[in-house]
Chains A and B, each alone.
Chain A
Amino acid sequence: MLLMLCVASLVRPVLAAEAPMTITIGSKSFTESVILGDMLRHLSQQAGFEANHRRQLGGTRVLWNALLSGEIDAYPEYTGTLIQETLVKENLQTESQLKQALAKRGLRMTRPLGFNNTYAIGMKDELAKQLKLRTISDLQNQPELVLGFGNEFMDRADGWPGLQQRYQLPHRNVRGLDHDLAYRGIESGMLHVTDLYATDAEIAYYKLRALEDDLNYFPVYNAVILYRADLEQRAPEVVTLFERLAGRINAPTMSAMNARVKLHGEAESVVAANFLEQNLKLDIDLRVQTAWQRFWRHTVEHLTLVGISLSAAILLAIPLGILAARRPRLGHLVLGIAGILQTIPSLALFVFMIPLLGIGGPPAVMALFLYSLLPIIRNTYAGLKDIPPAIVESAQALGLPSRARLRIVELPLATRAILAGIKTSAVINVGTATLSALIGAGGYGQPILTGIRLDDIGLILQGAVPSAVLALLVQGLFELIERGLLPKGLRIQASELRSVT
């Protein structure tokens, strides 16, 4: 099965390269961006192209770099973000300067879509009334309030650091968390103040008040579509359609679309299609996948990630384990390096791969591969080292050369340990692979990620349960393999040991 997956995954990119040009859209990990991303996908398909939407890829930097490297062709962005964060060093003042700066990098942007999704600082209306807070300046006298901001806001130049400086805010224990989780924190009373996006549907829903930006700290965040300049040659029809969005989406419209997805559970793709049908008079062919199709796609993606990374890890880790057992000095080095790899938090390892391998499948496979090495190397090493010296010496004394000893005597005796290592790696791999969705590689992590964004437990379970079941299946599979592969003489030993204990 692993072999089949390997072949399938090798063949797939080749096929994709030969297909008529595919437009790849990216979106950031919040609902508005995903809805806009789906609009871009519909528009690309409308123009007759194959289109891919890599949903909720991450924050601004991930999308920006993916666009520069050509891994995506377009994504929704905000002018304020570009001026204040991405290109802050260029000290841009106007939108025409911004356009020039983008052109230098081979990028273009459409005219503004029609809404300003500025940041705002908000809190429960009730609490604001109670404390008589109206402006951000008023927060200066409330150092006991708990502040929590979206992770991106926490470290953006135009986020919390600048805000704190401008308003001289005294708050120290400020938490960074997922933007969508922040709303739940506010609702539960654990947080008092957070950053809002002006078009967030939750503002009305949770009865929040945006505090007045009395020192004019936040710039204008006009929504635009950012795309690669070469798209104008490759797919001029698509660019023309993107431009038709300009000026068509005002703040209440965007806010209403966000509400349909976040509060009423409609699919982003449906909301996006409805908008295009009503406002651009386009007839969108909605190819909505059924739940089973989605499940199957996630399963294939997940199995592909696990299959390739685990097979590659087995192929490398067993020889490394043998090397480690044969050459103690090299062994220490190999085990040390693999050990260090394992101490890198898995989430960080995935993100480290982005600058090296971009987004999508390859970096996810690489991260999973690195993560799977240690248990196999260590168990191979231990399995070989644990063979009683009398047996190793007997094999030597017979006159068997080193390689033959390994093949005939040592590896069969280490089978149990090696298989246990592979099993451990496989189970860890299946679980860790859910993080692949964070860097656009899909799998069971995708519904989990969407579920977190939409606060939808059902969706989270759609990813979590199959992932857990798959881990159990993999474990069971390896137990069967163990029964088949374990030399019969060792099975007798095992059963006798069991009957003794």
Chain B
Amino acid sequence: MLVFSHVSKHYGDTQALAPTDLEVPAGETLVLIGPSGCGKSTLLRLIAGLIQPDSGTICLDGTALTPANILQTRQRMGYVIQEGGLFPHLTVRDNVIVMARYLRRDTGWIDSRLAQLAELVRLPQDMMTRFPEELSGGQRQRVSLMRALMLDPELLLLDEPLGALDPMIRYELQQELKSIFAQLGKTVVMVTHDIAEAAFFGQTLVLMRDGRIVQTGPFTELARTPAEPFVEQFITAQREPMEQLAAVLR
């Protein structure tokens, strides 16, 4: 589905991404994880074509992404960012259908698709005429997901989609997102820095550090056979407070 061959990216003297090879099989949920500045967001932004690689190619279904075909390929991707990135001057409805309307899709199709998506993300109908400022953080992310799914893309890109939410809402949305991914069967690339969230969503985890991939595999593999001491450190650092909490509760 998505294949990285020797892709690298610099910002001035800083290497954001060392030459990297990576493959995302169709229908799989792949989670990019690592500390801040490890290059995980850079990788996601390269896929969306928001930045261009210094070297290497990214292929989507065998076609290399280039600035010339980026507008077309973007329609095959849905993109959700941390704060939702909703347009404040448009209603929920207009935010979701902005691209479909630009492409002059049939209004009947637009309306039925909208209803279908609202049901999928469990957003009440009366929210459609509201503006982003009038929504809660969780509702905004649901709308953002609707917008990403509007044109039924093959690939879903999510950059810390739940990062700005409070823990209760976050837990609820995690459950829902996972079931939505399962229902849709789409290829998903998600960025997070939370190991528990990564383990919850990802069939494959890609742990990154300083612009390079440290280890790729299911969570159990990372936990049991860490490729480097850093893998263990990263997992332990997030696991320990949870275990202490669990001990107290017991």
Q: Which residues of A contact B (CB under 8 A)?
A: 390-391, 393-401, 404, 408-409, 412-413, 487-490, 492-493, 496
Name the B residues within 8 Å of A490 (CB-CB).
88-89
**Complex A-B, nearest 10 residue pairs according to Cβ-Cβ distance, in ascending order:** A394-B85, A399-B74, A487-B89, A397-B79, A489-B131, A489-B89, A390-B85, A399-B75, A398-B99, A412-B89
- Residues in B neighbouring A396, C-beta threshold 8 A: 48-50, 74
Interface centre among B81, B85, B91, B99 (most CB of A within 10 A): B85
Q: Which of B49, B87, B99, B157 has the most CB of A within 10 A?
A: B87
Given contacts A394-B81, A394-B85, contact A489 B75 (CB under 8 A): no
Q: Are A409 and B131 in contact (CB under 8 A)?
A: no
Contact partners of A488 in chain B: CB under 8 A? 89, 131
Q: How far is the CA of A51 from the CA of B182 in the complex (A)?
A: 87
B132 to A489, Cβ gap below 8 A? yes
Question: Residue on A with the closest CB to B77?
Answer: A397
Is B86 among interface residues, defined by CB-CB distance under 8 A?
yes
With both beta carbons as reference points, the residue of chain B lying nearest to A391 in the complex is identified as: B85
Given contacts A393-B81, A399-B71, 12 further A-B contacts (CB under 8 A): A393-B50, A395-B87, A396-B48, A397-B85, A398-B79, A398-B99, A413-B87, A487-B90, A489-B89, A490-B88, A490-B89, A492-B133
Query: What residues on B are CB-neighbors of A395 within 8 Å?
Result: 87
Select B87's contact among A394, A399, A496, beta carbons within 8 Å: A394
A390 touches B131 (CB 8 A): no
Contacts of B49 in A (CB 8 A): 396
Which residues of B are in contact with A by a Cβ distance under 8 Å?
48-50, 71-72, 74-75, 77, 79, 81-83, 85-91, 98-99, 102, 131-134, 147, 157
User: B228 → chain A, closest Cβ, in Å?
Assistant: 32
Q: How far is the CB of A411 from chain B (nearest CB, A)?
A: 10
Q: CA of A489 to CA of B133 in the docked complex: distance in angstroms?
A: 7
In the assembled complex, the Cα of A404 lies from the Cα of B81 at a distance in Å of 21
Determine if A397 and B48 form an interchain contact, defined as CB atoms under 8 angstroms apart: yes
Determine the distance from Cα of A489 to Cα of B87 in the docked complex, in whole angstroms.
9
By secondary structure, the A interface counts as: helix
**Pairs A–B under 8 Å by Cβ, sample size 14:** A390-B81, A391-B87, A394-B86, A397-B85, A398-B147, A399-B75, A400-B98, A401-B71, A404-B102, A487-B89, A489-B131, A490-B89, A492-B133, A493-B88
- The closest CB in chain A to the CB of B74 belongs to A399
Residues from chain B with Cβ under 8 Å of A401 in the complex? 71
Q: What distance in Å separates the Cβ of B105 from its nearest Cβ neighbour in chain A?
A: 13
A393 CA to B90 CA, complexed, in Å: 16
Complex contacts, B85 vs chain A, CB 8 Å: 390-391, 393-394, 397
Which residues in B have their C-beta under 8 angstroms from that of A399? Answer: 71-72, 74-75, 99
Contacts of B77 in A (CB 8 A): 397
A397 to B147, CA, bound (A): 11
Residues of B within 8 A of A409 (CB): 87
Docked-complex contact B89 and A413, CB < 8 angstroms: yes
Contact residues in A for B86 (Cβ distance below 8 Å): 391, 394
Q: Across the interface, which residues of B come within 8 angstroms of A413, CB to CB?
A: 87-89
Q: Which residues of the partner chain A approach B48 to less than 8 Å between Cβ atoms?
A: 396-397
A403 CB to closest chain B CB (Å) equals 11
Name the B residues within 8 Å of A489 (CB-CB).
87-91, 131-133
Measured between alpha carbons, how far is A241 from B72 in the docked complex, in Å?
A: 80
Q: Which of these, A390, A391, A397, A496, contacts B133 with CB under 8 Å?
A: A496
Q: Could you say which residues of chain A place their CB within 8 Å of the CB of B90?
A: 487, 489
Min distance, Cβ B90 to any Cβ of chain A, angstroms:
6
Q: Is A493 within 8 A of B133, CB to CB? A: yes
* Contact for A398 among B74, B82, B83, CB less than 8 A: B74
* Most chain B beta-carbon neighbours within 10 Å: one of A391, A395, A489, A492: A489
Which of chain A's residues have a CB closer than 8 A to the CB of B74? 396-399
A394 to B82, CA, bound (A): 11
A489 to B86, CA, bound (A): 11
CA distance A181 to B90 in the complex (A): 60
In the assembly, what is the distance between CA of A84 and CA of B66, in Å? 75
Among B88, B91, B98, B134, the most chain A Cβ lie within 10 Å of the Cβ of B88
B167 to chain A, nearest CB (A): 23
> When the two chains form their complex, are residues B79 and A394 in contact, meaning their CB atoms are under 8 A apart?
yes
Task: Provide the residues of chain A in CB contact with B132, threshold 8 Å.
Answer: 489
